Amino acid sequence: MKIILISRRHGGSRSIELNRWSRALLSLCCLGLPLGLAASGYLVGQESGVRAQGGGAATPAARPQAGGHDLPLTGRQVQALTLNLAELEARMTRLDALGQHLTAIAGLEEGEFDFSEPPALGGPMAQDDSFRRAGGGLGGNVGRFAAQLADRERQLELLESLLENRKLERQASPSGLPVKKGYLSSRYGWRTDPITGEQTMHAGVDVAGRRGSEVVATASGVVTWAGRDAGYGNLVEISHSDDLVTRYAHNKENLVQAGDIVRKGETIALMGSSGRATGSHVHFEIYKNGRSVDPSSYVARTHP
C-alpha cells in the first residue's frame, strides 16, 4: 500500500510504502478514535443526567437510615393511618360519653370512674432509642390511641360488672308493697287485736286489696315454706341474702312450692282471707337474722 504526500508550497510529491503491520495500525487508529470519542460522550451525558435529577447526590428515599426504622411513609400509608386515627378518636369519644352516663346512673363516688379525664399513666423512660423512634409520628399516635381505647374498654367492663352486682343486690333486697294493687291497712307494732279487742304485738303490716288479686315477691330469693298454718292461713316464706326472710300470709291460694326460686315482682300467691283474718288482705312480715323488723322502711323503698 502506498501513501502519496503532496506539498502545496513546492508542488512536489512524495510516496510512502506501507507494509502489512503499518496498514493494520493505521486502520486501528482510524476506527478506534471515533468509537472512543462516542463512548466518552455517552458516559459524560449519563453522569450529567443523574446530577440534574438528584442534585449531585442520592435521594433520601434511596438512602436507608441507620437501623432501618425511619423510612418515609408513602401517601397511601399516611392516608390509611389518618383514617385509623380518626376512627379511634370517634370510638374514644363514644366510649367516654357512655362511661360518664353509666357512672352517673350508678351513682359512683367522684373520681372512682372519671371518664372526663385521661387515664393516669406512668413508667420509666425507655433507654433504647429505637423505642422512642417507634412511638413517634403518625403511627405512634395510632398506637397510643389504641392503648387508650383498650383502657376505656376495660373500665367499662369493670363498670358493667359493678352495675350488675348492684342490680343483683337490689333484686335480693325487699322493697315496695307485696301486691300489684292494694293499700296499707295496718302498721307494725302494738295495736288492738281486730278479733279479741286486746292489745297485741302486730309483727308485720297488712295490705288490703281485692280478693284474688296478685301477691308478689318483694325480692328475689328461694321459697323455704309454702303451706297452711292455723294463724297465718296459706303462707309463703322466702329466704333472701343478708339473712333476710319475708312472709306472705292469709293467701287464697299459694302459687309456688318450697324450693322454688322466685324473682322480684313475680306472682307467688293470690290474695285472700285464710287463717285469722277479717277480710281480704296480705299480712307481710320481714325477719332479719331471725328477728322480726318493721317492714315499713322496706316498703318505702322504690328499687326497680
Per-residue burial over 210-222, b = 16 or more CB atoms within 10 Å of its CB, e = otherwise: eeebbbbbbbbbe
18-32, 87-101, 233-247, range with greatest mean pLDDT: 233-247
- pLDDT, one tens digit per residue, over 4-22 is 555 555 555 555 565 555 5
Distance CA 48, CA 56 (A): 9
Answer yes or no: is pLDDT of 56 > 90. no
Do 143 and 135 contact (CB within 8 A), yes or no?
yes
Are 255 and 228 members of one domain? Answer: yes
**Helical (H) or strand (E) element with 121:** none
pLDDT at 285: 97
Whether the CB-CB separation of 183 and 207 falls below 8 Å is answered with yes
Over the chain, what is the mean pLDDT?
74
User: Does residue 80 belong to any structural domain of this protein?
Assistant: yes
Q: Which of the pair, 114 or 55, is modelled with greater confidence?
A: 114
Q: How far are the Cα atoms of 25, 55, 117 from residue 167, in angstroms, in the given order?
A: 109, 72, 27
Whether the predicted pLDDT of 232 surpasses 80: yes
Same domain for 268 and 221: yes
* DSSP character string of 63-129: SPPGGG--PPPPHHHHHHHHHHHHHHHHHHHHHHHHHHHHHHHHTPPTTTT-TTSPPP---PPP--H
Judge if 269 and 187 occupy the same domain: yes
Strand partners, 271: 251
Same structural domain for residues 84 and 135? yes
Q: CB-side exposure of 54: number of CA atoms within 13 Å?
A: 14
Asked if 133 and 203 sit in the same domain, the reply is no
Cβ proximity of 106 and 159 under 8 Å: yes
pLDDT band at residue 80, thresholds of 50, 70 and 90? confident
Q: Which three cell numbers stand for residue 287?
A: 325477719
**Res. 204: pLDDT tops 90:** yes
* pLDDT at residue number 40: 57
Would strands 199-202 and 189-192 be described as parallel, antiparallel, or unpaired? Answer: antiparallel
At 125, give phi and psi (nearest 5°).
Answer: -70, 135
The share of the chain scoring above pLDDT 90, in percent, equals: 38
178 falls within a domain: no
Asked if residues 257 and 209 have their Cβ atoms less than 8 Å apart, the reply is no
Q: pLDDT band at 195, cuts 50/70/90?
A: confident
The answer, yes or no, to whether residue 60 has pLDDT greater than 50, is no
Do 144 and 111 lie in one domain? The reply is yes
Tell me, yes or no, whether 96 and 117 share the same domain. Answer: yes
Tell me, yes or no, whether 164 and 187 share the same domain: no
pLDDT at 144: 73
- Phi/psi at 47 (nearest 5 deg)? -65, -40
Residue 226 phi/psi, 5° resolution? -150, 105
**Overall average pLDDT of the 152-163 stretch:** 70
Confidence bin at 66 (pLDDT 50/70/90): very low
In this prediction, residue 280 has a pLDDT band, given cuts at 50, 70 and 90, of: very high
Best-predicted range by mean pLDDT (37-51, 116-130, 164-178, 185-199): 185-199
Mean pLDDT of 275-282: 94
Answer whether residue 199 is part of any domain: yes
Number of domains in the chain: 3
Domain enclosing residue 148, as ranges: 75-172
Specify whether 30 is located in the same domain as 79: no
Residue 128 has pLDDT above 90, yes or no: no
Return the residue matching grid coordinates 292469709.
250
- For residue 73, name the pLDDT band (cuts at 50, 70, 90): low
**Does residue 208 lie in a domain region?**
yes
Q: Are the beta carbons of 81 and 139 closer than 8 angstroms?
A: yes
Mean of pLDDT values over 13-38: 55
CA 292 to chain centre: 45
Same domain, 187 and 286: yes
Establish if 177 belongs to a structural domain: no
| Residue 190 confidence (pLDDT) | 94
